[in-house]
Amino acid sequence: MAHKKRRVFQHVMEDDSYEIIKKLTPKEWVIREFNRPDYGIDLVIELFEKVDERFSETLGEFIYVQVKSVQKVEVTRERIFNVGNVAKGAWEEDKSQYAEIEVIKYVFDTNSLFTIQSLGASVSVLLFIVDISTEDVYFISLNDYIDKIILPKNPNYANQNSITLTVPAFNNLQNKDFAFSALKFYGKRAKLLSAFSKFAYQKNEISYLFGYKLFPVWTYRDELEKGKVNTVNEAKSMLLYFISQLENLDIWSHTEWQVLPEALKELLSIKELVEGDNSDWSEIQNKVIVLWHQLTNLGTMYEDICREWFLPKIISLLTSYPTAPEIIKEK
């Protein structure tokens, strides 16, 4: 028997989910549906900064979101054991101590995970799990979850149909201060990675400028520039040019990662020394070398620590949540 065209309930839930997300995010942010049909990305959130009551300015920062709607989310408790640095080796749990936290579980299809893995980590892709009944929205970074949990634990995950993701229940857009801090951090990702690349380039050039080497490797450039000596004025000119490329980067205003504004202070103090009439040039050189080592180390810290933030791991619970968990030792 014929019937009229029907709208499936899943599409109603999807529309409801988008409205809930819009309700819980800052009104100055712009949320766009990415495409229909989607192939792994449902929404793109463009972050804006409120200037005053009249207008907001775009930050040029974007978060990509896959949305999953659930009629009712089940919250359970789970033990989280300590794990070694997975940037350096495979997953190894220390079961002598653990934290117990509230989590939600979501079964995610492997094809979508593999697609997101192929995008790399330069743009943040988040999963939003929307509880229609309570209007809670739980979030997790899929890029980081893949690199810091799935691949270290199960490098052959692509051979199975699905993966069960564990999301800390505190990762909830209802926890506005915490959630917005996290989302702003994810929005800065492309800018941070771009800055880390710039730091590394400048550090390499400074090593040639001052004639020091970090590694006992002789390159063709070393052969070409052998015996070349830069004057103090030439060195100062290059350093001031490098600083001019860095000092106005808006990563420095991201106070949620406290090392960033501190690094800017050090950069500006070096600028003052280079611009001044200081006769102790060797001391300035030493301070420049140390600072650019610290700047390039930010990239290491980001990979080792910051990409662990907001994940269901001990290091995350200790470094990115407002209250540290109780660490329980096994008897």
Instruction: Note the pLDDT of residue 124.
Output: 95
Contacts of 104 (CB under 8 A, 6+ apart): 73, 74, 75, 76, 129, 138, 166, 167, 169
DSSP H or E stretch at residue 129: strand 125-131
Nearest to 321 by CA among 187, 189, 182, 186: 182
First to last CA, the chain: 67
Backbone dihedral region for residue 265 (phi beyond 0: left; psi -120 to 50: alpha; all else: beta): alpha
Read off the tokens for 232. 């103090």
Instruction: Note the pLDDT of residue 189.
Output: 96
Nearest to 131 by CA among 295, 16, 286, 262: 16
Amino acid at 82: N
For residues 152-182, one letter each, b for 16 or more C-beta atoms within 10 angstroms of the residue's C-beta and e for the rest, the string is beeeebeeeeebebbbbbbbbbeeeebbbbb
Instruction: Note the pLDDT of residue 246.
Output: 98
pTM, 2 dp: 0.89
Q: Report d(CA 248, CA 97) in Å as an integer.
A: 44
Q: Are strands 43-50 and 125-131 parallel, antiparallel or unpaired?
A: unpaired
Q: Are strands 93-109 and 75-83 parallel, antiparallel or unpaired?
A: antiparallel
Tens of each residue's pLDDT in the chain, 331 residues: 664 444 444 555 667 889 999 999 999 999 998 866 566 789 999 999 988 888 899 999 999 999 999 999 999 999 999 999 998 888 999 999 999 999 999 999 999 999 999 989 998 999 999 999 999 999 999 999 999 999 999 999 999 999 999 999 999 999 999 999 999 999 999 999 999 999 999 999 998 888 877 666 666 566 666 656 568 888 999 999 999 999 999 999 888 899 999 999 999 999 999 998 777 888 999 999 999 999 999 999 999 999 999 999 999 999 999 998 898 987 7
Instruction: Note the pLDDT of residue 7.
Output: 46
Instruction: Note the pLDDT of residue 232.
Output: 85
Amino acid at 228: K
